């Protein structure tokens, strides 16, 4: 072991901060404005490895974050809640709260009991049904598309690449709208587990800063970006009542990191000349793709901050994290504040799912869950699938149930064809129940999570009953006996068990399935010739019949 390696080992063994870490902490506390000042111009402390790529400075990226989104939506739906401390709950946790509640000490993911103790007058709203939040999120995304290419990060976060709109502005901006992040600004993490959620001292009302005569073209483009961000936030507020915070920078990484510095309802811009010093102070966890496992591996080679990560070569980083050279180059570039990844629209989701978790629901020998649980999940899934189908003109082909039990902590997945649209919630619930029986088997189990998902979407393809492929068929007018037969079948069986299948869907099914339906139910006589699909077998396949699956 060399003397340098020995010194490094002793420093880590005795928890002594490295010079680079001390310098980064100095920047974080605002003690100086540059790395050189932190280390007294001793460059030997910082044997940095230059990045292998350069930053594309022609882009202007916005990171738009809707403030306390769930609570804001609840206030919009019920204006009487404005001004009151409000928290939105899921299960036993307050998942978010408005700023009146936060001033009283109510934090994210705080238990309801603790939140009520801190704020006795706290108003609670259940946020387990996400439908209304998705609707407001879709409205916000539609507004932002008018300002550039939009990439959705979640229901309340979006990237917007407004570079083209900036280029189309004929007059240069003389001011930066909002806040300009100054060197040595005092920053803190909003929560201990998310160091990328940075907050600073609130500057008050939105201000403007003069660009200056000697400003570069990049700075003038960013100034135009601040004007666009202010316009986008104003449209969100005027059109839908939504308040948003925004970060403006030349890339996605920096825009996200500074987006919340002056929350709420404000915006911040970071100039490229200050980006390297800004990110040097931050832990490596702020880089996209660095989770707990990667962070621990980087710490093992002495990289806790982005500044320390710069001192390693891409080969050393790849060897430490066990990943590709491409990923190592990305991490090393991000440590310098360089991120050339594009803003990519997500498009329609590949999976539409709903889930619920529990402290534990006991199942013994295949006994099904209380009907309300699977029924509620199935109803929410069908509503979302119908909405997705109407918007994107597609239908799912696969239904997947994911279950987690207390005995087996890992999740298990089981799939089947997605039921016919005609079956509705009942068909989806029955199919999910069959998958649940496969998941837990005949042994006793305690379920702690259930997820039901629709996937394998096919654009423009009609759904066949029970997932069977449709056949080409002749079109026929609706049967005049549909209502009469439905009434006859309703008299035979309890209403809760009835599910109607349209005659055209029945004709699309293979002949053997039509025969199975006919054997399972006594069909009323129909004064009509057999259809072509049933002709020659003496079976009538006209009219509507009680769902075959409802009897299973």
Per-residue model confidence as pLDDT tens digits over 442-456: 666 778 888 999 999
Residues 463 and 356 in one domain: yes
How many folded domains does the chain comprise?
2
Residues 457 and 357 in one domain: yes
pLDDT of residue 60: 97
Q: Phi, psi at residue 38, to the nearest 5°? A: -65, -35
Answer with the residue of higher pLDDT: 405 or 468: 405
pLDDT of residue 451: 92
Query: CA 476 to CA 271: how far, in whole Å?
Result: 67
Q: Are strands 394-395 and 149-152 parallel, antiparallel or unpaired?
A: unpaired
Residues 449 and 514 in one domain: no
Catalytic choice (74, 151, 157, 295): 157
Sequence-distant (6+) residues with CB within 8 A of 421 are 395, 463
10 vs 302, 464, 501, CA distance in Å? 12, 68, 75
Residue 460 lies in a domain: yes
Domain boundary among 432, 467, 502: 467
pLDDT of residue 73: 97
Residue 406 lies in a domain: yes
Query: CA 377 to CA 451: how far, in whole Å?
Result: 8
pLDDT of residue 509: 53
User: Over pLDDT 70: what percentage of the chain?
Assistant: 70
Residues 398 and 443 in one domain: yes
Nearest 5°: the CA angle 191, 192, 193 is 95
- Annotated catalytic, 171? no
> Tell me, what DSSP letter sits at residue 94?
E
Residues 488 and 410 in one domain: no
Query: CA 261 to CA 246: how far, in whole Å?
Result: 9
Residues 498 and 457 in one domain: no
Query: CA 37 to CA 440: how far, in whole Å?
Result: 63
Sequence-distant (6+) residues with CB within 8 A of 425 are 375, 378, 379, 382
Query: CA 381 to CA 370: how far, in whole Å?
Result: 18
Q: Say which residue the tokens 């029945």 belong to.
A: 506
Residue 304 lies in a domain: no
Mean pLDDT over 46-74 rounds to 90
Residue 314 lies in a domain: no
Residues 357 and 429 in one domain: yes
Count of C-beta atoms within a 10 Å radius of residue 238: 10
Q: Which of 468, 469, 456 is nearest to 400 (CA)?
A: 456
Residues 411 and 491 in one domain: no
Query: CA 197 to CA 157: how far, in whole Å?
Result: 12
Q: Which H or E run contains 449? A: strand 445-455
334: helix, coil or strand?
Answer: helix
Mean pLDDT over 486-501 rounds to 37
Residue 405 lies in a domain: yes
| pLDDT tens digits along 132-180 | 999 999 999 999 999 999 999 999 999 999 999 999 886 777 889 999 9
Residue 374 lies in a domain: yes
Residue 375 lies in a domain: yes
The CATH number given to whatever domain includes residue 385 is 3.30.1490.100
Domain boundary among 409, 433, 467: 467
pLDDT, mean over the chain: 77
* Four-CA torsion 467, 472, 476, 482, nearest 10 degrees: -10
Residue 240 lies in a domain: no
193 CB-contact burial (10 Å; exposed 0-12 / middle 13-18 / buried 19+): exposed
Asked if 187 contacts 261 with a C-beta cutoff of 8 angstroms, the reply is: yes
Residues 434 and 533 in one domain: no
Domain boundary among 408, 441, 467: 467
| pLDDT tens digits along 339-394 | 999 999 988 889 999 988 877 777 665 555 565 788 889 999 998 999 888 888 89
Residues 459 and 376 in one domain: yes
Biggest CA pair distance of the chain: 99
Residues 502 and 438 in one domain: no
pLDDT of residue 516: 52
Q: Which of 157, 152, 96, 153 is nearest to 122 (CA)?
A: 96
Q: Give the range of the structural domain holding residue 497, as residue numbers without chain letter.
A: 482-551
Residues 369 and 444 in one domain: yes
Say what the pTM is: 0.72
pLDDT of residue 53: 87
């Amino acid at each position: 072991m060399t003397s340098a390696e020995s010194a490094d080992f002793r420093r880590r063994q005795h928890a002594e901060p490295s010079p680079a870490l001390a310098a980064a902490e100095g920047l974080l506390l605002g003690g100086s404005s540059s790395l050189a000042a932190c280390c007294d111009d001793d460059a030997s402390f910082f044997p940095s490895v230059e990045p292998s790529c350069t930053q594309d400075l022609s882009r202007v990226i916005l990171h738009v974050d809707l403030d306390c989104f769930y609570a804001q939506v609840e206030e919009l739906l019920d204006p009487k809640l404005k001004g009151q401390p409000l928290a939105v709950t899921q299960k036993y946790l307050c998942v978010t709260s408005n700023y009146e509640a936060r001033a009283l000490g109510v934090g994210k993911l705080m238990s309801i009991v603790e939140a009520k103790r801190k704020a006795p007058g706290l108003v609670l709203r259940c946020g387990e049904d996400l439908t209304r939040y998705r609707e407001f999120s879709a409205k916000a995304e539609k507004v932002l598309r008018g300002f550039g290419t939009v990439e959705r990060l979640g229901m309340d976060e979006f990237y917007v690449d407004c570079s083209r709109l900036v280029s189309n502005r004929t007059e240069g901006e003389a001011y930066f709208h909002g806040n300009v992040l100054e060197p040595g600004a005092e920053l803190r993490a909003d929560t201990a587990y998310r160091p990328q959620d940075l907050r600073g001292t609130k500057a008050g009302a939105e201000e403007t800063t003069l660009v200056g005569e000697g400003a570069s073209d990049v700075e003038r483009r960013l100034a135009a970006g601040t004007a666009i961000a202010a316009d986008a936030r104003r449209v969100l507020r005027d059109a839908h009542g939504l308040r948003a915070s925004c970060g403006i920078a030349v890339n996605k990484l920096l825009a996200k990191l500074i987006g919340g510095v002056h929350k709420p309802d404000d915006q911040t811009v970071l100039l490229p000349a200050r980006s390297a010093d800004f990110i040097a102070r931050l832990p490596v966890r702020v880089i996209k793709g660095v989770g707990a496992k990667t962070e621990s591996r980087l710490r093992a080679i002495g990289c806790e901050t982005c500044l320390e990560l710069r001192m390693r070569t891409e080969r050393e980083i790849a060897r430490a994290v066990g990943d590709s050279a491409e990923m190592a180059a990305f991490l090393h570039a991000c440590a310098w504040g360089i991120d050339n990844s594009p803003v990519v629209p997500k498009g329609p989701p590949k999976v539409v799912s709903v889930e619920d978790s529990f402290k534990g629901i006991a199942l013994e020998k295949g006994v099904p869950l209380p009907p309300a649980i699977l029924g509620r999940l199935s109803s929410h899934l069908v509503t979302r699938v119908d909405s997705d189908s109407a918007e994107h003109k597609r239908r799912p082909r696969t239904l997947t149930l994911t279950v987690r039990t207390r005995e087996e902590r890992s999740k298990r997945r089981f799939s089947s064809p997605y039921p016919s649209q005609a079956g509705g919630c009942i068909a989806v619930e029955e199919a999910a129940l069959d998958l649940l029986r496969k998941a837990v088997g005949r042994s006793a189990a305690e379920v702690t999570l259930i997820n039901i998902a629709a996937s394998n979407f096919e654009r423009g393809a009609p759904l066949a009953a029970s997932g069977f492929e449709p056949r080409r068929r002749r079109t026929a007018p609706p049967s005049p006996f549909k209502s009469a037969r439905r009434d006859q079948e309703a008299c035979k069986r309890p209403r809760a068990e009835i599910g109607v299948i349209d005659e055209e869907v029945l004709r699309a099914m293979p002949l053997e399935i039509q025969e199975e339906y006919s054997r399972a139910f006594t069909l009323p006589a129909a004064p009509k010739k057999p259809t072509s699909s049933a002709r020659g077998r003496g079976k009538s396949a006209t009219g509507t019949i009680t769902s075959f699956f409802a009897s299973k």
